[in-house]
Amino acid sequence: MSPRPTMPIFKTSVPEIVWPSVPSKTAAALLAQLFQLEQSQWLSGPALLDRQLLQLGQLTAHAHRHSPFYRQVFDQHAIGANELWSEEKLRTVPPLTRQALVEQAAIIHCSVVPQAHEPSHNVQTSGSTGQIVEVKRTALNNLMWMALTLRDHFWHQRDFAQSAAFVRANAKSQDDDAIAKKDGWGIPVSLLFETGPAYRQPLSLSVSEQAAWLLRRDPRYLLTYPTNLSALLDEFERIGRFPPQLKEVRTIGETFSASLKARCENDFALKTVDVYSAQEVGAIALQCPVSGLYHVQAESLIVEVLNDEGTPCKEGEVGRVVVTDLHNFATPIIRYEIRDYAEAGGACPCGRGLPTLKRILGRRRNMVTLPDGSRHWPSVGFHAFRGIAPIRQYQAVQHSLDTVEMNLVVDAPLTGEQEKLLRRVIQDALGYPFNVRFSYSDAELPKTLGGKFEEFISMI
């Protein structure tokens, strides 16, 4: 019989009572959410759907009363916002586009937010296009985010006593030992537990500086973006050193490829865990600790994966992701086209009833378009790049149906022979003899304001 995992002792708000602890008011609310999540994850799919639709009715009734945008949508399409909901009825609501969220935010926001949900705060995201989306999120949204973040930690049995490192777009540099130990892993973990030290650096720090910092700090856990992780692995290979205590990396913000996962596991013995989230709606799906499938966080969201006809994809089919946030009563997010594509999953062998996604594929603008009009998710053959030339970073941009530009960060431009070999690899990987032209830079290629980087962009 395998031993049960040990649970660290909870923090207490009463100094004289350390066990069982007496949590603070916020911590108690968080623990209540975690208790419910522990039960709900094992519900059947139909049971979860029943609860989702019940909550959806509360949201739509509020939106109809207090959001001019949704009042117009529901009335215009003869949708009874205050009546019982079903999956079929939900699909009669026109999807909310990013453009609408940008241009009509003033009438999407609710004029009244329930007092128990307050305070609200503004969240901005620029995505990959530079369009700034601003959404109001409430204290209850934040509570759910904290609970789902802790669910991810518990699923993967992270040891809070160990050290952690975070490299994120807008992080402030925090490398002081005393502060790292005092602040620990930060909210939400530090609300409930004592933790090991946590160190932080902004993504603007060069990869070589990040690598040197990680070697010095030698954390057990690292959180960063997939492209930054790939660059770090390149740097560790270049210098022939690797942080010996680093055992797990958690990735956020970008598509995490199967090839990068394999590289982490096979070449560096690194466990990888990806988190699918968005600033507008929080955690969308977390990776299962048993199967690696992405479990939709059904207690927080309804997630639809739809084909071109707008009907739900079957297991194994790829479609666009449409999200409904069940708890945002400040800026209702109902059937939001988040512009991502995903592959629908099936039942998970772990036994959880939470729906699954098999893969997160990226955005439509990350698909290659062939001259016959067909599209597919591209591979540009980057695994072969390093065997041809010392390429530090790349980005492919499709400008037309027959032309792809490769932006390369290199120490010196490629020779004619190297370009010839690289062009052949790219054409084979893309599945068409594109006219491939090369552009060179000795500086890092630009990211979005949110710190994301896209390896392939279609301008078509």
Q: What is the mean pLDDT of residues 385-401?
A: 85
Q: What is the mean pLDDT of residues 372-382?
A: 71
Q: For residue range 209-226, list pLDDT tens digits in order.
A: 999 999 999 999 999 998
Rounded distance between C-alpha atoms, residue 154 and residue 306, angstroms: 31
In the predicted structure, residue 391 carries a pLDDT above the cut 70: yes
Percentage of residues in the chain having pLDDT higher than 70? 94
Q: Domain 368-458: which topology? A: GMP Synthetase; Chain A, domain 3 (3.30.300)
Angle at 317 between CA 355 and CA 270, to 5 degrees: 65
**pLDDT class of 441 with cuts at 50, 70, 90:** confident
Question: CB-based contacts of 424: which residues, under 8 Å, 6+ apart?
Answer: none
Rounded distance between C-alpha atoms, residue 390 and residue 18, angstroms: 57
The amino acid at residue 43 is: L
Output the pLDDT for position 443. Answer: 76
**pLDDT class of 194 with cuts at 50, 70, 90:** very high
Rounded distance between C-alpha atoms, residue 380 and residue 399, angstroms: 15
114: its two tokens: 């329930």
| Region label for 350, one of left (φ > 0), alpha (ψ between -120 and 50) or beta (otherwise) | alpha
Rounded distance between C-alpha atoms, residue 343 and residue 317, angstroms: 5
101: its two tokens: 């969220």
3 state SS for 326-360 = CCCCCCCCCCEEEEEEEEECCCCCCCCCCCEEEEE
Residues in the chain: 460
Backbone φ and ψ of 238, nearest 5°: -65, -40
23: its two tokens: 């949590």
Output the pLDDT for position 151. Answer: 98
H-run or E-run covering 321: strand 318-325
DSSP count for the chain of H helices, then E strands: 13, 19
The amino acid at residue 130 is: G
Q: In this structure, what is the dihedral angle of CA atoms 11, 13, 18, 19, given to the nearest 10 degrees?
A: -80
Rounded distance between C-alpha atoms, residue 278 and residue 298, angstroms: 15
**pLDDT class of 6 with cuts at 50, 70, 90:** low
DSSP state of 97: P
Cβ atoms 450, 222 nearer than 8 A: no
Rounded distance between C-alpha atoms, residue 255 and residue 69, angstroms: 32
Q: How many of the other CB atoms lie within 10 Å of CB of 197?
A: 21
Rounded distance between C-alpha atoms, residue 270 and residue 162, angstroms: 16
Nearest to 352 by CA among 306, 281, 287: 287
Q: Which residues of 369-378 are buried (b: 16+ CB within 10 A; e: fewer)?
A: beeeeeeeeb
In the predicted structure, residue 240 carries a pLDDT above the cut 90: yes
Output the pLDDT for position 372. Answer: 87
Cβ atoms 82, 57 nearer than 8 A: yes
More confident residue, 29 or 361: 29
Output the pLDDT for position 450. Answer: 55
Cβ atoms 37, 352 nearer than 8 A: no
Cβ atoms 256, 273 nearer than 8 A: no
Region of poorest pLDDT, from 36-50, 72-86, 434-448:
434-448
90: its two tokens: 């939900």
Output the pLDDT for position 130. Answer: 47
Q: What is the mean pLDDT of residues 199-204?
A: 90
Rounded distance between C-alpha atoms, residue 108 and residue 314, angstroms: 32
